[in-house]
Amino acid sequence: MRAALCLLPLIGLCCLLSARPAGAQSIQSRSSEPGKTAVGTGAPEKSALTQLQLLEGVRLFRAEQYDEALRVFQQIDAEQQPADIGFYLGMALHKLGRHLPALVAFRGAARSGLHEPVADYYSAVSCYRLGMLSRARLGFTALVETASAGTAPGLPLGPRLQEGARRFLAALPPRGNEASSPGGTTAGQRCELAQKNSERLLLAEDLDGALEWLEEGVRALQEITDKPEQGSRQSELQRLWSRLRAQLSARSPRADLSTLDRLLGN
């Protein structure tokens, strides 16, 4: 009974999303199948009070009272810090159009061990809305490929979201050819913009936001075909990463910063 109770909030949230349009399509959840769970983090079961609070947040979300739902999820995060709370926070923030904080929340859920295609989908959409085209392309590509192979972890991505991922991917200019489309930019220009945004947020002491934009810069860096330009921009991003990494490590000594270390060759 307790194990079933632990699934209720996420099932409720996925079911509510299946009835709500989300960009190109909506989610068709199969979370009611026996044994399906999106959490799988190995974290202790939530208390009965936390379960009730989550259900209240889901109820508010279903009523499209996203501000109130966010308030409830934030309270749970502050008091209990369940491993999967980043999923709930990310969904509410996404619905409110607060895409950068949504990315931060989804990243936090992933760090806690939650690997959920629905979260990956909305993370990619948030990247798209922010103009993080390299990350959006990678995200949608991974979703389409894993859905086709049937190897996605967690709750399967419903057919309407799979189609949405394909449509977003088709709307993105081909990798490396963004400048060929109306109003398009080159990978180098997007890398420079991402670097500036990251530096701005670092100065404002928004370390999490700076990290999100720096990753976009690194992903755009990989699309630059001119080797001298790529080398020059890589050096600039490495210097920025050294500054940001030091502050992130000081804030959370056990933080996993290996992804950008690997991508930047540190």
DSSP-derived letter for residue 172 is S
Phi, psi at 101, each rounded to 5°: -60, -30
Report the pLDDT value the prediction gives residue 168, as an integer from 0 to 100: 95
Q: Which residue has the tokens 């806690």?
A: 112
Judge contact between 37 and 156, C-beta under 8 A: no
Give the integer Cα–Cα distance in Å for 111 and 118. 16
185 CB-near residues (< 8 Å, 6+ apart): 178, 179, 193
| CATH code matching the domain that covers 50-114, chosen among 1.10.150.130, 1.25.40.10, 1.20.1250.20, 1.10.10.10 | 1.25.40.10
Packing angle, helices 207-221 and 133-149, rounded to 10: 80
Contact indicator for 106, 94 with CB cutoff of 8 Å: no
Predicted confidence (pLDDT) per residue in 55-68, tens digit: 999 999 999 999 99
Give CA–CA dist 69/111, Å, rounded.
Answer: 23
pLDDT higher than 70, residue 232: yes
**Exposure b/e, 71-105, CB count within 10 A at least 16 = b:** ebbbebbeeeebbbbbbbbbbbbbbeebbbbbbbb
Mean pLDDT, residues 39-65 taken together: 78
Instruction: Give the pLDDT band of residue 73 (cuts 50, 70, 90).
Output: very high
Phi and psi dihedrals of 25, rounded to 5?
Answer: -165, -175
**pLDDT reported for residue 185:** 80
User: How far apart are alpha carbons 239 and 256 in whole angstroms?
Assistant: 19
Mean pLDDT across 172-185:
64
CA distance 261 to 125: 25
Whole-number Å distance between alpha carbons of 135 and 125: 10
Question: What are the beta bridge partners of residue 22?
Answer: 25
Per-residue model confidence (pLDDT) at position 184: 67
Q: Which of 24-28, 185-189, 202-206, 245-249 has the lowest mean pLDDT?
A: 24-28
* Domain boundaries, given as residue ranges, for the chain: 50-114, 116-172, 186-263
Q: List the alpha helices (DSSP H) in the chain.
A: 2-18, 48-62, 66-79, 85-95, 99-111, 117-130, 133-149, 159-171, 187-203, 207-221, 227-251, 258-263
C-alpha separations of 174 from 134, 135, 138, 178 in Å: 10, 13, 12, 6
Average confidence (pLDDT) over 178-203: 84
| pTM (predicted TM-score) | 0.81
Where does the pLDDT of residue 183 fall: very low under 50, low under 70, confident under 90, or very high at 90 and above? low
Tell me the pLDDT band of 174, cut-offs 50, 70 and 90: confident
